[in-house]
Amino acid sequence: MKKKFSFLALLIWLGFAYTVNAQADCALGVGVTNDTIIFNVFQLNSLQKEKLINYGAELKYRNDLLNNELQNITDRHPQSTVTELTQLADKYKNVMDSMGRVQMMIDKRMLASFNPKQYELYRSLCKEASRSPFIVTPTVYPDSLNNKN
């Protein structure tokens, strides 16, 4: 129950961090959430664990590039007038939006590797957190046809 609560709290926090819509997206948080929490909550198989680790590394790489871009914008953009500050804010927002899109893309990839039961758990946790789940088609694994997990 503690693991479920921790993940649910994280889903709520991530939802607030990424959008301020009436019902925010339900981020899985690959690369942000401790991998062990995701492993345990969704009982990932070895292939899924490997994907989670790789996707987390990809997210870190992409975000490092975007953080460098933010740093360059901040360091090089003139900031003397209101117009220049407004332009800086627009550029900064565009990069931050890119980070959100990258997180969404990575989360959707990971969710697509979930089996139907794992995906249904994700959807139910999102519902409890009043968040909109990402819509993906879960994977049917050959070994899960004979196993009820």
Q: Which pLDDT score, from 0 to 100, does residue 141 have?
A: 82
**39 has a pLDDT exceeding 70:** yes
**42 has a pLDDT exceeding 80:** yes
Q: Is 20 helix (H, G, I), strand (E, B) or coil?
A: coil
| Rounded Cα distance, 38 and 31, in Å | 10
Q: How far from chain centre, in Å, is Cα 89?
A: 24
Q: Which pLDDT score, from 0 to 100, does residue 143 have?
A: 66
Q: Which CATH class is domain 2-140?
A: mainly alpha
pTM of the complete model: 0.77
DSSP structural state of residue 134:
P
| Rounded Cα distance, 30 and 39, in Å | 11
**47 has a pLDDT exceeding 50:** yes
Question: Which letter, b or e, does each residue of 61-99 get, where b requires 16 or more Cβ atoms within 10 Å of its Cβ?
Answer: ebbeeeeebbeeeeeeeeeeeeeeeeebeebeeebeebb
pLDDT above 90 as % of the chain: 68
Spatial CA neighbour of 113 closest among 53, 26, 32, 25: 53
| Band of pLDDT at residue 65, cut at 50, 70 and 90 | very high
Q: How far from chain centre, in Å, is Cα 7?
A: 13
Domain map (residue ranges) of the chain = 2-140
Write the pLDDT tens digit of every residue in 80-137: 889 998 999 999 999 999 999 999 999 999 999 999 999 999 999 999 999 999 999 9
**1 has a pLDDT exceeding 60:** no
Type of residue numbered 19: T
